[in-house]
Amino acid sequence: MAGDLNTVSLSGFKGRLSLLRDGGIAGAVTAAIFFLFLLSYRPYWYQFAVFRYQPYIPWMILVFIWFLVLTLVASFVFGLFFYRMAAILGWRRSVRSLAYAFCIGVAMVLITTTFFNAFWLERYDYKNEMIEILHLPNRATEPPKTVVLFGDNEHRIGAREFLYTRWSRFDPMALNKAGVDAAYRLLESRSYRTFLAGQMNEYLEQYYKKNCQIAPLLRYYQQRFEEGDDIRACSDLLWSLLHVLPTPERKRMLVLLTDEARYFIAGGACYRLGNIYAHMGDSAKADIWFDRAEKQGYPVGYRFPVSKVTDGILQGSIVVEGNPASQLRIGLLRDYRRIRRYRTEPVYLEALPEHLDIYVIDGTEPDQDGNFKFENLVDDDYFLAIMADTLLIYPTWERVSLSNAPGKITIDPEHVVVDLGVIRIDTRP
């Protein structure tokens, strides 16, 4: 290459090809690959919705925390590319030309990102509100329910409204079956990739847990993970399987999560899987996953003791005003923050009836004779809660009396099957 330090002499077409080969092509490919990564990096357009950040100038998304660094690096790469290409155009190599090239790089990033925001992000509900896109009213559309918690020290009663209150500027919004169906339709139409995914996830979780419906919630996590390739759904599913009842359906979910032909299982997931298998009573598989976590350098902390019982049964019946109660919902609760197998102090469920969601691990409805049954219980302490219309059970103690109401229910090797008998609920005038 001829020329001094500040200028480049191009010797015809051959010299231009030489410069292009030496730096131009490499710079262009590097810039293109990095910018493609910048635009396709999932948190760029999907994951950061968890933090509910809504910029209103399209390209201002670039300055959002961790993307600021990516933007500057991309601009620098583009700047070097244009600075290298300046030699082909015969520009002087100077600080000014480098500054010009960097400005061109910044402009390219901003222009491309603005185009990306304007014509791509809108497809994934950018700057939309869930209450508007799902056509939800900002008030409860279903009547409140009476919730009775059969606690250890005392029983509690209260009313629960079906409202979604988190992350909404139009606070609150209705929590109902129509909203759940609309959320599913939107998620499936977007292949579970939308800026509203975080809100809709919370919405569906609140609906299912408030109604003590854990099975459809787990299926939703599985569907999100399989069809939407959402790593958060995998985390939610692992966390839930660590605490819910180990039914055959939930054991089959582990086949998906442990399919190494489809997924790489990192050390943290190995540790979680080890605890899940211990919770489900499979000590051999638990040890395998704990060992794999240690081999990957993951710090294996507390290991769940292997469940001694995985086929426990809890059954009974409920009678309201002398009649078998079938028009209500029964929730099975456990304070999983203090699981009996590794705690020494007694357990007391201290939640109020309107704040039971985090304790619910299963739910069922009585049959026409008022009978109910929970199966596949592991050895631990449990509590029951019932949810009914306020017309059936009034939400104050002044109008309600209980007979044979259970408190803490223990499942262990000596008490695999627990029959609660008849729980009677009567109302006073």
Give the pLDDT confidence score for residue 316 in this predicted structure. Answer: 95
**Which residue carries 């704990």 as its tokens?**
290
Which is more confident, 336 or 361?
361
Q: Which residue has tokens 């959002």?
A: 64
CATH code of 312-427, in short, is 2.60.40.10
Looking at residue 88, its pLDDT comes to: 55
**Residues 335-365: b if buried by 16+ CB within 10 A, e if exposed:** beeebbeeeeeebebebebeebbebbbbbbe
Q: Answer yes or no: is pLDDT of 304 > 70.
A: yes
Share of residues in the chain with pLDDT > 90 (%):
22
Q: Which range has the top average pLDDT, 89-93, 258-262, 360-364?
A: 360-364
Sketch the domain layout of the chain as residue ranges: 12-124, 130-141+169-295, 312-427
**What is the pLDDT, as a whole number, of residue 161?**
81
Distance from the first to the final alpha carbon of the chain: 101
Q: 356, 383, 399: which is closest to 153 by C-alpha?
A: 383
**Which pLDDT value is given to residue 75?**
60
- Tell which wins on pLDDT, 302 or 76: 302
Alpha carbon distance 57, 423 (integer Å): 60
**Using CA atoms, how far apart are residues 374 and 331, in angstroms rounded to an integer?**
10
